[in-house]
Structure 1
Amino acid sequence: MTPLLAKSYDTSSDGLTYTFTLRKGVQFHSGAELTSADVKSSIERVTAEDSQSSRKSSLAVVESIETPDDETVVVHLSQRSISFVYNLSYVWIVPAGGDEAQDRGGRHRAVHARHLEARLVDHARALRRLLG
């Protein structure tokens, strides 16, 4: 798995704490820059008690999330999980807060690690066709 939103992560020796360092310059479609608050909010949206997400059970090990600064996300787990980082790759990261998280049609304007690279390639192809 290639990290596209985080440049690195560390795991505590007991396997219960993951510290992610986000890449600088990652932007949403709106132009707003990705921050740790966006990541925290997006994970909490999936794990919320009233969440209907199909990924909720796979992230049930998330006990708490800290954001000590805009580029750092610290996730504490209730138990070890060898699939935790993999499961995070299925979380759509949307801007924290209401209005910025949606476009005019009410759809979420997300950055998703698995699809970001494919979108960039598609945009490059479209530009080449347009520009000749």
Structure 2
Amino acid sequence: MPLVEGLTIEQFETVWPALVGAVRDELGPRRLAMFREASPGHVEGSTVVLVLPEHLGFHLAQINSDPHIAGIVAARASELLGGSVQIVFRSSAVAPADASDQRVPDKDQLVEAPADADPGALVEGLLGGQVIEDIPRD
């Protein structure tokens, strides 16, 4: 397969969700857990640089010590993009977006939920979740 020419990070980002889904079974749970910490960084020619947050140095070391991860990701990305690409993993100096200095409230600051509150509705409303199945309670 010939190299992809003129690849941009925007083009790669359009196939990113499909790529994550495509490598899921091949990578297996351990490799996938580390891979999912990566995100598209930039493109250098036909090489896509995936970045991991700086605080995940262990993950980056594990990914870079396992050539199967980059190989599987490159193969699936090449299929999705219609041309050969290489994948490299690097650290990002950007702080993680979810870092927070907020303190957890003290126990006496917490408010009890009303007795008639539906936990499923709370999950759906507050967290944007979805209740898959109700488990009967005794």
Q: TM-score range by the shorter chain?
A: 0.3 to 0.5
Answer with 1 or 2: which has the greater Rg. 2
Normalising by structure 2, report the TM-score: 0.33
**Larger helix proportion, structure 1 or 2?**
2
